Structure 1
């Protein structure tokens, strides 16, 4: 028996030595390096899940569609710049992404999201989301619609992206969950610097982002710094918002479920006094720090909100406002914020039930008595 056992071990060792008993090798993730003048899209289309497309320093006149899961598209900092190519779309109508290719090679689509006037597009489908894409360390500027747009994305990470002077949104997502937006700069975009929504092309209830996080971003000179539209379960923390017409908008409406369960905490929101005209959906904006309209069960806490002054019905440091279709805000908690120099600091023109103001350091309110 002992000889048999020794023979068995020797045989097993021989099999392992020949690789028959070994685990299959793991494919190495590749880095595809792109230089100015070369095609980013070609490198993206050639990449496999887990690969990195690295853009070197310089300016690229190109839009890019990404549909490969696990892909990282990364520059080397703000000096990696994506601008529109000559003859690109100049329309400023918000894109819904509905024209994006639903194949794996979106760069070959004749009517892709990128061709519609956006810079970088991370595009999945209703049945197959694009998962775990990272976009980092680059600048998107001058696009007619959105600098970076994503739809049907799960686990999208956007970090250290600078989105400047795009026609509609700096960075925008629809139909997406588990997102992380960290250390980005969005400046001088036509609408929101950061825009997160369920959808813009149809009426439907708020969707659960399953814990999307927006933190440590700088949002400056946009119409609205951050818009959270018809979403639930999302956190905005540690952001700096200044020079916009309005800092933060949490927007709901009459659809069910309502927008809500949004946490807005530890942000610095000051001098958002740019003046923006009325639109078909929203009154003129100026001097709004944080606005909740048609939202429920949200928490606004430990923010520093200063010197937001204007003549809009939505002006003020923290504003609860009945939505423009008449839906009230309910059970929102406004607590432990520092407010100074706003006009006024706290505003509640909403008739909804269960909204509370407590522990805030402020000097003026409408109606009186909220401080």
Structure 2
């Protein structure tokens, strides 16, 4: 019988396939076990589609490029920690503009792009190209911390799953994707990152219309102490549900611009958004932030419903529980529905400074609004 790296997984599969004549063949996927002091990248490079690279408990000092479809890279929980290699900068002094992208795609196979991603200050990179997506990669059960840019970064990824990852104290984003579809982000913690804890975008380097994510889901995550908890930038067809956001300067941003199609068809439901009162200074792209629950700007046909939004208080133009805000480039928000939310102690609970058409506020439990009459 073929030798298996972990007997109870790979060899059991082989036995089932050979011992039961009527059973269909079972793929012989390998588990590559890595211990602190050993190279994660070497194990990832040796892996085949469908394999798992398992990181044991301890601290690893390296960045990792993942280009193999169907690969699972996972640890054993928060005690599996990835940090920058010795001598590289940490994220503590990196700018928090949210404008840095890891993408630098020159090679059709993504090799050079991935290498550039890791070398430029990101922790785990999942990098494909426009012609060759990296499909069905899973990153799970580990901590990425102290990287100058992003803890986990992906571009041109289809079916990426990130679950039970702790991304903290990274210079720009905790977990970020561009040009990616069918994503699932579940049960993660993103804390004290320079910009967004979770950043999902079409691209930050080109002026393009919003991308259809084809059903990306962000659920059951904890976003705490970032500049923004979750940013959804120039995307369509995405759901944020059952997340907990607290201690950020702003909880959720759904952002569009003047390009077509607009951002939209985003559902923000059943999240708990409390005390996002950290103060963040103005940047070249955005006013100072403090006391913001949810912002929709330049978005259309989106639904914000059944959220609990409490005690978000600040003096920013964007302060408030749920804020419908006219885009900084003059694009209106249209046909968005704000319904059945519970809002208490925000300053104010509901805000509408947009001049778009067809936006509705209905069934919300709230006590203050700007202009008056939205509650």
What TM-score comes out, normalization by structure 2 length? 0.89
Runs (4+) off by over 4 Å:
1-27, 89-99, 101-111
Q: Highest CA radius of gyration, 1 or 2?
A: 1
CA contact (8 A) 1:225 1:241 kept: yes
Relative to structure 1, is the Cα distance of residues 20 and 369 closer, same or farther in structure 2, using a 3 angstrom cutoff?
closer
Deviation at 1:88, TM superposition (A): 2.4
Deviation at 1:78, TM superposition (A): 0.0
Deviations 1:250-306 (A, max 9, x none): 000000000000000000000000000000000000000000000000000000000
CA contact (8 A) 1:65 1:106 kept: no
Structure 1, 330-339 or 85-94: larger mean CA deviation: 85-94
CA distance in 2: counterparts of 1:188 and 1:333, whole angstroms: 31
Structure 1, 106-115 or 307-316: larger mean CA deviation: 106-115
Relative to structure 1, is the Cα distance of residues 359 and 51 closer, same or farther in structure 2, using a 3 angstrom cutoff?
same
What TM-score comes out, normalization by structure 1 length? 0.90
CA contact (8 A) 1:102 1:124 kept: no
Relative to structure 1, is the Cα distance of residues 108 and 32 closer, same or farther in structure 2, using a 3 angstrom cutoff?
farther
CA distance in 1: counterparts of 2:12 and 2:148, whole angstroms: 65
CA contact (8 A) 1:45 1:107 kept: no
CA distance in 1: counterparts of 2:129 and 2:230, whole angstroms: 25
Tell me, which stretches of 5 or more residues in structure 1 are unaligned? none
Deviation at 1:87, TM superposition (A): 2.4
CA contact (8 A) 2:14 2:28 kept: no
Give the match's secondary structure for 2:4. helix
Relative to structure 1, is the Cα distance of residues 347 and 13 closer, same or farther in structure 2, using a 3 angstrom cutoff?
closer
Deviations 1:29-83 (A, max 9, x none): 0000000000000000000000000000000001000010000000000000000
Give the match's secondary structure for 2:93. coil
Give the match's secondary structure for 1:208. strand
Structure 1, 26-35 or 177-186: larger mean CA deviation: 26-35
CA distance in 1: counterparts of 2:248 and 2:152, whole angstroms: 19
CA distance in 1: counterparts of 2:2 and 2:73, whole angstroms: 58
What RMSD, in angstroms, separates the aligned Cα atoms of the two structures? 7.6
CA distance in 2: counterparts of 1:4 and 1:171, whole angstroms: 33
Deviation at 1:112, TM superposition (A): 2.1
CA distance in 1: counterparts of 2:292 and 2:5, whole angstroms: 80
Relative to structure 1, is the Cα distance of residues 97 and 87 closer, same or farther in structure 2, using a 3 angstrom cutoff?
farther
Number of corresponding residues? 370
CA distance in 2: counterparts of 1:202 and 1:8, whole angstroms: 48
Relative to structure 1, is the Cα distance of residues 293 and 96 closer, same or farther in structure 2, using a 3 angstrom cutoff?
closer
Tell me, which stretches of 5 or more residues in structure 2 are unaligned? none
Deviations 1:144-191 (A, max 9, x none): 000000000000000000000000000000000000000000000000
Relative to structure 1, is the Cα distance of residues 31 and 342 closer, same or farther in structure 2, using a 3 angstrom cutoff?
same
Deviations 1:334-354 (A, max 9, x none): 000000000000000000000
CA contact (8 A) 1:234 1:261 kept: yes
CA contact (8 A) 1:92 1:145 kept: no
Relative to structure 1, is the Cα distance of residues 6 and 187 closer, same or farther in structure 2, using a 3 angstrom cutoff?
closer
Relative to structure 1, is the Cα distance of residues 173 and 263 closer, same or farther in structure 2, using a 3 angstrom cutoff?
same
CA distance in 2: counterparts of 1:126 and 1:295, whole angstroms: 26
CA distance in 2: counterparts of 1:122 and 1:201, whole angstroms: 18
